[in-house]
Structure 1
Amino acid sequence: MSPTFPAAARRFWNQLPFFVWLVVLWMMLWGQFTVLAAVTGVAVAIGVTKVFHLPTAELSGRVNLWYGLVFVVLFLAELVRGAVMVAWQALRPGETTSGIIAVQLRTDADLIMTHVSVASSLIPGSLIVEADRERRILYLHVLGIRHAADAEAQRRNVLVWEERIVRAVGSRADVAALKQARKEAAR
Structure 2
Amino acid sequence: MSPLTKRERIRSRITAVIGLVLVWNLLWGEFTWMNTISGAVIAVAILLVFPLPPVKFGGRLRPLHVIGFFARFFYDLVVASFQVAFLAFRPGEPKSAIVAVELRVKSDLNMTLVAEAVSLVPGSLIAEADQQTGTLYIHMLGVRDAEHLERLRAEVLHVEARLIRAIGSDEELRRVNAPREEPAT
Q: TM-score, normalised by structure 1?
A: 0.90
Question: What is residue 19 of structure 1 aligned with on the other side?
Answer: 17
Distance in 1 between the 2:106 and 2:138 partners? 19
Q: CA deviation at 1:39?
A: 1.0
Q: CA deviation at 1:83?
A: 0.2
Aligned partner of 2:51 among 46, 50, 53: 53
Runs of 5+ consecutive residues of structure 2 not aligned to the other structure: none
Secondary structure at the counterpart of residue 18 of structure 2: helix
Say which SS state the counterpart of residue 159 (structure 1) adopts.
helix
Q: How does 1:15-164 map to 2 (within 5 A)?
A: 15-164=13-162
Give the number of equivalent residue pairs. Answer: 181
Residues 94 and 143 in structure 2, CA contact (< 8 A), matched pair in contact too: no
Offset at residue 14 of structure 1 (A): 2.8
**TM superposition shift of 1:32:** 2.8
Q: Is the 8 A contact 1:60 1:171 kept in 2?
A: yes
The alpha carbon displacement at 1:167 in A equals 0.3
Shift of 1:7: 4.0
Q: Secondary structure at the match of 1:58?
A: coil
Q: Report the more deviating stretch, 78-87 or 89-98.
A: 89-98
| Equivalent-residue separation in structure 1 for 2:88 and 2:180 (angstroms) | 40
| Structure 2 SS opposite 1:103 | strand
Q: Which moved more, 1:70-79 or 1:10-19?
A: 10-19
Contact between 2:65 and 2:165, CA under 8 Å: does it hold in 1?
yes
Aligned partners of 2:65 and 2:166 also within 8 Å: yes
User: Could you say what secondary structure the match of 1:142 adopts?
Assistant: strand
Identity percentage of aligned residues:
38
The answer to whether the 8 Å contact 1:109/1:174 transfers is no
1:94-130: CA deviations, max 9, x gaps?
A: 2211111111000122111111000000111101111
Is 1:130–1:138's contact at 8 Å kept on the other side of the alignment? yes
Distance 1:13 1:61 in 2: 15
Decide whether the 8 Å contact of 1:144 with 1:150 is kept in 2. Answer: no
Q: Which moved more, 1:85-94 or 1:142-151?
A: 142-151
